[in-house]
């Protein structure tokens, strides 16, 4: 039975494998048409629980970006769903039927200009959303079979999240660099990706389309590092050559900074020399903008030339003056439009940069918040584990002390009393039986005690004292408890006969603190003077800190 993702998408074949995971062709079994989809299975590079949670949060955010891009641009695949299952991450995307630029073979100049122009329009939209593709190459440009338009696939931002890790200082960094050798801009290899990095990769992809050669197959200038691709295209039109040459400059500052700038350069009209003797002043020439929604499979240049029958009519000084005025007015209008366009373009770039900064800040804040929450959870887990460990130790010590006490009582019951005829011995025995607490040692006193411990803030100290007393054979009545308003360290008892026991406990507490290198003043308070009455062997310890 074929493997299914999420019980819905049946895998048909593997389209590719890479460092970030695998790509499959599948069909949607829950749609009547069982339409084809592309599934990208991504694997995080680090399965650490902290990094995995960070990757999952960023993956969801990048999936939202892909969904928005696909909904608003027909030349980007639609994202149908994203799935997180068994620490695996899946993107379910539209299947684009067609051939990649790497598969269709060498293309002519006209088709190259059409594909380049269309992709620049796509990048204008993508960059306008403050998104950088990061991995443009011939394999990621699909010429769609239905309309011949180029479709941009396999955005790199999602793959970058698979390598996200959190640093000890709370910041996050990706341990991977997304891109393809040869098509990746120099600054991208250093972890710095710009809009012009996409334009660099697009330029090299177009050069591949024209030559069928990968960048690594070209020689390069040993001084500047620039690729010598021009010699493979001696007949390339000057305008297209200039656009590609500037796009693939090694220095960022020498490239086009925006897709709009590169688009305008591609469609810049070539200068012509006007012969006044062949101008017909009674003709109106209409200029139409280039239509980008075209089928790049069927491109032909149609050049119209003047009809010989449309010759020179007549000229006089007035016509010449009028023509000069028209030329001046047109020049003024063009200059004004150019200035206005530059102004609006600058404003748009500033707005885009502001949005990019805002998104980066929000992303950093989200990552920081996630890391802080994870740290809090870990600290809380450590506190709970430590508290549980202390509780178990105290319980074990209590059980051990109880067993020893019972064993001692059993031995005392089974041991017959020694009787002596010596009157002094009888007198001594009588004195011992009437004494409420034995004077043999503090240990014998403590073994019959029941003690309750209250603390104000430091549970660790209270637990440690509890364990210490248990090791001395003291019985702890209940688990320690926390009380507010404790103003001093004292021992409280409600039976004057418990004074020897209180002294013995005081000695043990002071010994406990001395072992810690701390001197504590422990007071003893007899509550029987206030009307309280408890058994002789029962007292309470109150710890301020």
CATH number for the domain harbouring residue 233: 1.10.510.10
Point out the domain boundary residue: 210, 239, 266. Answer: 266
Point out the domain boundary residue: 207, 242, 266. Answer: 266
The least confident of 3-12, 14-23, 277-286 is 277-286
* Whether 252 and 390 share a structural domain: no
How confident is residue 310, by pLDDT bands cut at 50, 70 and 90?
very low
Q: What is the pTM of this model?
A: 0.51
**Is residue 428 one of the residues assigned to a domain?**
no
How confident is residue 301, by pLDDT bands cut at 50, 70 and 90?
very low
The least confident of 81-95, 200-214, 352-366 is 352-366
Q: Give the residue-averaged pLDDT of 462-474.
A: 81
Q: How far separated are the first and last CA of the chain, in Å rounded? A: 66
**pLDDT of 150 over the 90 cut:** yes
**Is residue 233 one of the residues assigned to a domain?**
yes
Name the residue with higher pLDDT: 442 or 503.
503
pLDDT of 536 reads 64
Domain count within the chain: 2
**Is residue 431 one of the residues assigned to a domain?**
no
**Is residue 25 one of the residues assigned to a domain?**
yes
Mean pLDDT for all residues in the chain:
77
**Is residue 262 one of the residues assigned to a domain?**
yes
Q: Which residue intervals of 129-192 are DSSP H helices?
A: 157-161, 186-189
**Is residue 314 one of the residues assigned to a domain?**
no
How confident is residue 516, by pLDDT bands cut at 50, 70 and 90?
confident
Point out the domain boundary residue: 215, 241, 266. Answer: 266
523 forms bridges with which residues in the sheet?
490
**pLDDT of 109 over the 70 cut:** yes
- Candidates 202, 283, 286; CA nearest to 243 is 202
Percentage of the chain modeled with pLDDT above 70:
75
**pLDDT of 382 over the 90 cut:** no
- Candidates 234, 30, 18; CA nearest to 139 is 18
pLDDT of 479 reads 67
Q: What residues are designated binding site for ATP?
A: 41
Q: Give the residue-averaged pLDDT of 472-486.
A: 76
Q: What residues are designated binding site?
A: 41
Structure tokens at 129: 């959303």
**Is residue 153 one of the residues assigned to a domain?**
yes
**pLDDT of 38 over the 50 cut:** yes
Catalytic residue (one of 135, 154, 442, 490): 135
pLDDT in tens, 169-216: 444 545 456 778 889 999 988 888 899 999 999 999 999 999 999 999
pLDDT of 255 reads 96
Full domain range(s) for residue 150: 4-266
Name the residue with higher pLDDT: 422 or 303.
422
pLDDT of 13 reads 94
pLDDT in tens, 312-350: 334 445 556 666 788 788 888 888 887 877 677 777 777
pLDDT of 159 reads 63
* Whether 386 and 259 share a structural domain: no
Is the distance from CB of 138 to CB of 208 less than 8 angstroms?
yes
- Candidates 114, 115, 132; CA nearest to 123 is 132
DSSP count for the chain of H helices, then E strands: 12, 17
DSSP-derived letter for residue 496 is G
pLDDT of 423 reads 42
**Is residue 285 one of the residues assigned to a domain?**
no
d(CA 57, CA 54): 5
* Whether 386 and 257 share a structural domain: no
**pLDDT of 136 over the 80 cut:** yes
pLDDT in tens, 238-257: 999 999 999 999 999 999 99
pLDDT of 46 reads 62
Per the annotation, the verdict on 135 as an active-site residue is yes
């Amino acid at each position: 039975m074929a493997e299914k993702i999420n019980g819905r998408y049946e895998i048909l074949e593997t389209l590719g494998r890479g460092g970030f995971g695998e790509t499959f062709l599948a069909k949607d079994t829950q749609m009547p048409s069982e339409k084809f989809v592309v599934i990208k299975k991504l694997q995080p590079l680090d399965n650490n629980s902290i990094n995995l949670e960070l990757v999952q949060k960023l993956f969801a955010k990048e999936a939202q970006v892909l969904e928005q891009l696909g909904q608003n641009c027909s030349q980007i695949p639609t994202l149908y769903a994203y799935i997180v299952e068994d620490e695996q991450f899946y993107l379910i995307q539209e299947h684009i039927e067609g051939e990649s630029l790497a598969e269709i073979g060498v293309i002519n100049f006209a088709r190259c200009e059409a594909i380049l122009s269309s992709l620049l329009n796509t990048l204008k939209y993508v960059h306008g959303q403050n998104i950088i593709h990061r991995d443009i190459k011939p394999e990621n440009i699909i010429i769609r079979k239905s309309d011949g338009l180029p479709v941009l696939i396999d955005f790199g931002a999602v793959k970058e999240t698979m390598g996200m890790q959190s640093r000890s200082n709370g910041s996050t960094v990706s341990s991977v660099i997304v891109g393809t050798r040869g098509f990746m801009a120099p600054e991208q290899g250093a972890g710095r990706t710009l809009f012009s990095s996409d334009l660099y990769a697009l330029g090299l992809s177009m050069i591949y389309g024209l030559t069928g050669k990968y960048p690594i197959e070209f020689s390069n200038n040993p001084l500047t590092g620039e690729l010598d691709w021009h010699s493979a295209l001696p007949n390339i039109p000057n305008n297209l050559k200039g656009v590609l040459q500037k796009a693939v400059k090694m220095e960022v500052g020498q490239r086009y900074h925006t897709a709009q700038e590169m688009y305008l350069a591609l469609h810049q009209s070539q200068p012509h020399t006007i012969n006044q003797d062949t101008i017909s002043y009674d003709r109106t020439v209409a200029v139409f903008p280039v239509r980008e929604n075209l089928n790049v499979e069927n491109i032909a240049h149609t050049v119209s030339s003047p009809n010989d029958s449309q010759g020179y009519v007549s000229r006089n000084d007035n016509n010449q003056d009028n023509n000069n005025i028209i030329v001046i007015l047109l020049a003024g209008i063009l200059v004004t439009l150019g200035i206005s366009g530059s102004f609006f373009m600058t404003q748009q770039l500033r707005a885009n940069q502001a949005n990019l900064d805002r998104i980066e800040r929000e992303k950093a804040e989200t990552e920081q918040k996630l890391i802080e929450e994870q740290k809090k959870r870990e600290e809380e887990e450590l506190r709970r584990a430590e508290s549980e460990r202390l509780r178990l130790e105290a319980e074990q010590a209590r059980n051990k002390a109880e067993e020893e006490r019972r064993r001692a009582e059993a031995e005392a019951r089974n041991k017959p009393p020694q009787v002596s005829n010596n009157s002094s011995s009888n007198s001594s025995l009588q004195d011992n039986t009437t004494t409420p607490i034995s004077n043999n040692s503090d240990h014998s006193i403590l073994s019959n005690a029941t003690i309750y411990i209250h603390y104000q803030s430091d549970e660790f100290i209270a637990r440690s004292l509890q364990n210490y007393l248990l090791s001395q054979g003291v019985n702890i009545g209940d688990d320690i408890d926390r009380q507010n308003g404790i103003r001093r360290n004292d021992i409280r008892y409600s039976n004057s006969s418990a004074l020897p026991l209180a002294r013995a406990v005081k000695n043990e507490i002071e010994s406990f603190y001395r072992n810690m290198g701390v001197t504590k003043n422990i007071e003893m308070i007899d509550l029987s003077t206030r009307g309280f009455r408890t058994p002789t062997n029962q007292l309470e310890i109150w710890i301020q800190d």
